[in-house]
Amino acid sequence: MKLFEPLFDLVLSWSRHPQAEKYLGALSFAESSFFPIPPDVMLAPMVVASPEKGWRYALITTVMSVIGGLAGFALGALVFDLLFPYLEKFGYTEAFATSQEWFQRWGFWAVLAAGFSPIPYKIFTIAAGAMAMPLAPFALASVVGRGARFYLVAGLLVWGGARVEPMLRKYVEWLGWLFIALLVALYFVVR
């Protein structure tokens, strides 16, 4: 059963849409504060479709992700009591507890690592606000962590150039199922 190749084609078609940059920015903002889908699913195909714009796309993704992170921080600081039932409802309570533990132990470095962690970034942004982390270190860690992640993705795809799309298409099913298996494994390790 092919699941990931049709999804790859769909996202690749979105990445060529005239409003794709706006969609990428909106997705990047939303993912950092409340939405479950990471912007990489749009960033990567956009860079594959137009490698010459890869650095621009990485910048849009980083800036909007950090702004979304600041919105998540504000949500955590101002209305956390109203949000907590939703964290429970959507199964994020364990991830939230882990992010709190990381903040207590590592502070700034926890936010920096959150850009690459299997725990959704929005959990870190809300937790940082709820725990009253100082805003300047939070913003700096967000810029560095999120920027490193998105520029790495874009850089690898710019470097790969036009030859990346056929290669991704050839292995997208295998990579998709491998990613699902890794997520399941990480779930049990973190749990």
* Segment 131-177, tens digit of pLDDT: 888 999 999 999 999 999 999 989 988 988 777 777 777 777 777 77
Choice among 16-20, 83-87, 166-170 with the minimum mean pLDDT: 166-170
Residue 181 resides in a domain = no
180: its two tokens: 């699902």
pLDDT in tens, 32-82: 887 777 888 789 888 988 889 999 999 999 999 999 999 999 999 998 888
Query: In angstroms, rounded to a whole number, what is the distance separating the alpha carbons of residues 103 and 89?
Result: 23
Residue 177 resides in a domain = no
Question: 122: closest CA among 26, 25, 36?
Answer: 36
Residue 150 resides in a domain = yes
pTM as predicted: 0.77
Query: In angstroms, rounded to a whole number, what is the distance separating the alpha carbons of residues 48 and 168?
Result: 10
Whole-number pLDDT of residue 70: 96
By CB atoms closer than 10 A (0-12, 13-18, 19+), residue 107 is middle
Query: In angstroms, rounded to a whole number, what is the distance separating the alpha carbons of residues 40 and 36?
Result: 12
Whole-number pLDDT of residue 186: 62
Residue 175 resides in a domain = no
Count of domains in the chain? 1
Residue 130 resides in a domain = yes
Domain hosting 144: range is 14-165
Q: Residue 92 pLDDT > 90, yes or no?
A: no
How many helices (H) and strands (E) are present in the chain, helices listed first? Answer: 9, 0
Could you please report the per-residue DSSP string of 14-73? HHTSTTHHHHHHHHHHHHHHT-SS-THHHHHHHHHH-GGGHHHHHHHHHHHHHHHHHHHH
Is there a contact between 8 and 114 (Cβ–Cβ < 8 Å)?
no
Residue 5 resides in a domain = no
pLDDT in tens, 95-127: 888 878 887 888 888 888 887 765 678 888 888
3-state secondary structure of 183: helix
